[in-house]
Amino acid sequence: MNTTTLPLNPGRASQPAISAPALLPSIAIVDKTILAARRAVLLCLLGASALVAVVLAERSWLLREGEQLTAKLSEAEQMAGKILLADEQLTTATLLAATTGDMSWVDRYDAKLPVIDQAIARAMALAPAEAAYRFDTETKLANDKLVVLERSAFDAVRRGELASAQATLDSPAYAQHKQVLSEGTERFTASMVGSVNAELEALRQRADVALLVISALVIIASFGMWRRLDGSLARSRGFFVDAQSMASSDMLTGLANRVSLRDALGALTQAAPPAAPPLTLLMLDLDRFKPVNDRLGHAVGDAVLKTVALRMSRLLREGELVARWGGDEFVVLIPGCDDEPAGMAIAERLIRAISQPMVVAGHAVEISATVGMARFPHDAKVVEDLLQRADLALYRAKSQRRGSTVAWSADMDGQAVSQGDLTQDLRRAIAAGEIVPFYQPIVRLADRKVQTLEILARWQHPQRGLLPPSEFIAQAESCGAIGALTQAVLRQACLDARAFAPDVRLSINVAAAQLEDLRLVDELLAVLHETGLDPRRLEVELTEYALVRDVASARHVVGLLSQAGITIALDDFGTGYSSLAYLSELPVDKVKIDRSFVRSLHEGTTSAKIIASIVGLSRSLGVEVVAEGVETETDAQAVAKLGCQAAQGYLFARPMPAAMLMRSEPTRAAEPA
């Protein structure tokens, strides 16, 4: 016998029927595309903003420098004019003092003298170093000598020697110094104009260079931003290509998914018969796969699914397609095949390949598959009908014999109608109050006092009579009515509890699908609030199967229930591989030992040791232990001796309605559980 050994996370192998998608992005395609677009736009905006800022800064600098040079030139011209004007005023005051002998002109002279000194000093500060030096050695020196001559003329005026004063002012030396002052001032003005013009020219040249540099930077930056934007758009295109691949491929196995399967079916059946080629559709469901997930974990389960996908792909020929329909269901399309025996043969080959033992992460795994078959156009001429009839055939095969293949036949449509009628009838029954609570006591072994009443649903069917849970609970779960059913039964039980002893609790079972729904807590509390029942009087029973379907969600919901004051009990304890882990990880208040241990307690098996171990562990954790399936006094004494505090079973009472519970002793029988 061949055994396939695989690591926990085997890589994908090539598959002839379909091509595996490329490496998918690590985050959502839309989010990654938006992020790339935002980065590209942000880069363009930052680049454009930087270029505009550089241009504005260059223009501002150029304008500021030009204004400063212009202001400097204007002030220099003002100082030159001020020097010449002050010189003329001083000369006029000196001439009038020498001509008239009036000393008031001397006072005016003294008042104007600081003006020309200040103007000369400011002009020297504005002038370039060389021009300032010439101005200092020529103009200022000439001015100083003029002041000396004019002071000499004033002394002569004070002595009354006006002729001597006039002679001083008419002397060649005085005229020469006046000319030097005037020419020096003109040279200063010309020098300043030339200097400022030279600086302006240099400024213009620097501005031209800066403009060229900025232009080059703009071109380089624009090219870089374009390259970045083009790369971002290319990555975005890649993301959408990945998205298209993701939309048509199953991420776990690499097979086609429902979308691409329907596309393939549509392409193959789009022409009306007889133009459309025939095909056979096989719908496969894995047998014994759930225990793999429950015992070994979802990582091993995923590896098994990959192995199954690989084995099926290797068996298919060119043009044939295998797709993952969902969970542990697969669909195989065989174009050109309308022969039932040929389809059956292919199905049997697939079953044999899947059934080969495999070793995954050190665990030996053996599974099988059950197949339902439907043919186009023989069994259905529309894609949806073809899929539905293959599913009906699969359902028939699973109900008859696992690991077999069943082809669709016309009588299966009646079966589908029957299931649909049952669903509709069940919803009506819930709304009409036909689903009612029965109660089975859980008693304390020490004094046989009733502690808890387990709520067990019964359907009072108007035609079929009283139906047990096995007739409708599974259908309620599959059609999504289990939540409404639970609320209806709990509501009536809470109303009945008004007549029960106030210290008696109610216990209700919760389905796996409900434990994955965060609304469960709000729904239960709403019923308690509506009926006035204290949450501490309610107990919720969970099975390990309900926990393993989604451990994270279950842990969260169980925590919320416990916080609300509701008691948590683990039902059928000891039958699962992870029971002890749940007992230590979850806020469990009670465990109910499965009836199979009690049933085999007197057969010399290890059941007594198992029960004793469970009791010991539970006591150490402060958890109450209830033994289920206690049918005889011998059973009761045995489980009490092993340490069980409470028990439930036919010895104490069978399930009964509230009215019988109130008027009868708990030990009287009502009806089978």
Distance of CA 632 to the CA centre of its chain: 57
Q: Is the peptide bond before 274 cis (omega within 30 degrees of 0)?
A: yes
Nearest to 118 by CA among 143, 150, 99: 143
pTM: 0.45
Cα–Cα dist 120/79, whole Å? 7
How many percent of the chain have pLDDT more than 70?
Answer: 83
Instruction: Check residue 69 and give its pLDDT.
Output: 73
- Take residue 344 and report the two structure tokens written for it: 């059956």
Instruction: Check residue 307 and give its pLDDT.
Output: 93
Q: Residue 266, by phi and psi: left (phi above 0), alpha (psi -120 to 50) or beta? A: alpha
Cα–Cα dist 283/371, whole Å? 6
Q: Greatest CA separation found in the chain?
A: 161
The predicted-structure confidence for 273-328, as pLDDT tens digits, reads as follows 566 789 999 999 998 887 787 678 888 888 999 999 999 999 988 889 999 988 88
Cα–Cα dist 532/647, whole Å? 28
Nearest 5°: the CA angle 345, 347, 353 is: 105
Per-position DSSP letters for 543-584, written without gaps between them: -HHHHHT-HHHHHHHHHHHHHTT-EEEEEEETSSSSHHHHHH
Q: Is 375 helix (H, G, I), strand (E, B) or coil?
A: strand
Instruction: Check residue 1 and give its pLDDT.
Output: 44
- Take residue 264 and report the two structure tokens written for it: 């393939």
Nearest to 51 by CA among 223, 291, 188: 223
Expressed in angstroms, the distance from the first to the final Cα of the chain is 45
Instruction: Check residue 274 and give its pLDDT.
Output: 62
The predicted-structure confidence for 19-28, as pLDDT tens digits, reads as follows 333 333 434 4
Q: Classify domain 419-663 at the CATH topology level.
A: TIM Barrel (3.20.20)
Write down how long the chain is. Answer: 673
Please name the residue that has the structure tokens 């077999």.
Answer: 404
Cα dihedral 460→462→466→468 (10° resolution): -70
- Spell out the CATH class of 4-20+254-409: alpha beta
- Take residue 217 and report the two structure tokens written for it: 């930077």
Spell out the long-range contacts of 173-178 with Cβ–Cβ below 8 A and sequence spacing 24 or more.
Answer: 173/145, 173/149, 174/146, 174/149, 177/142, 177/143, 177/145, 177/146, 177/149, 178/87, 178/91, 178/142, 178/146
**Are 207 and 58 within 8 A, CB to CB?**
yes
- Take residue 51 and report the two structure tokens written for it: 């270029």
- Sheet strands (E) in 288-411: 321-326, 329-335, 358-360, 363-365, 368-376, 405-407
Cα–Cα dist 438/418, whole Å? 27
Cα–Cα dist 430/482, whole Å? 10
Relative to beta strand 505-509, strand 449-461 is: parallel
User: What contacts 527, CB < 8 A, 6 or more positions away?
Assistant: 487, 490, 491, 494, 533
Would you list the domain boundaries of the chain? Answer: 4-20+254-409, 30-228, 419-663
Instruction: Check residue 413 and give its pLDDT.
Output: 62
Cα dihedral 61→67→71→77 (10° resolution): 120
Cα–Cα dist 623/621, whole Å? 6
The predicted-structure confidence for 242-259, as pLDDT tens digits, reads as follows 555 555 677 788 898 887
Q: Pick out the chain residues at pLDDT < 50.
A: 1-28, 417, 577-578, 666-673
